[in-house]
Amino acid sequence: QKEVEQDPGPLSVPEGAIVSLNCTYSNSAFQYFMWYRQYSRKGPELLMYTYSSGNKEDGRFTAQVDKSSKYISLFIRDSQPSDSATYLCAMSGRAGGSYIPTFGRGTSLIVHP
């Protein structure tokens, strides 16, 4: 079992839909959780960064962390064609003293007009 599992998709939704992207993980030592957006042929861009459990909102984006279930989510409200990209989850913690994040494989999102 990989440390971080993320469904690669693609996930195809109509414009205006609410999108839910998810990752599960196995390492209970993870404390820091990140979501990145990556457009084709570009580097990942940090969208959300959260510590421990709870919710964080930034505009149309909401990140949720449920440490008891080892499950994190990114919600995108009123999705736009410009949101079409690959979304990577990443997490890090004190496991073995490592602060280096572990990345999911990424979920490809397509928002069609």
Partner 1 sequence: DGGITQSPKYLFRKEGQNVTLSCEQNLNHDAMYWYRQDPGQGLRLIYYSQIVNDFQKGDIAEGYSVSREKKESFPLTVTSAQKNPTAFYLCASSIAPGQGYSNQPQHFGDGTRLSIL
Two structure tokens written together for 35: 């979501």
Q: Does 103 bind partner 1 (CB under 8 A)?
A: yes
Helix then strand then coil, % of the chain, to nearest 5: 5, 55, 40
Q: Does 46 bind partner 1 (CB under 8 A)?
A: yes
Q: Does 74 bind partner 1 (CB under 8 A)?
A: no
CB of 63 to partner 1, least distance (A): 12
Handedness of CA 81, 82, 86, 87 (dihedral sign): negative
Q: Does 79 bind partner 1 (CB under 8 A)?
A: no
| Whether 93 contacts 70, CB under 8 Å | no
Positions touching partner 1 (CB under 8 A) are 4, 6, 8, 31-32, 34, 36, 41-46, 49, 51, 88, 90, 92-93, 99-101, 103-106
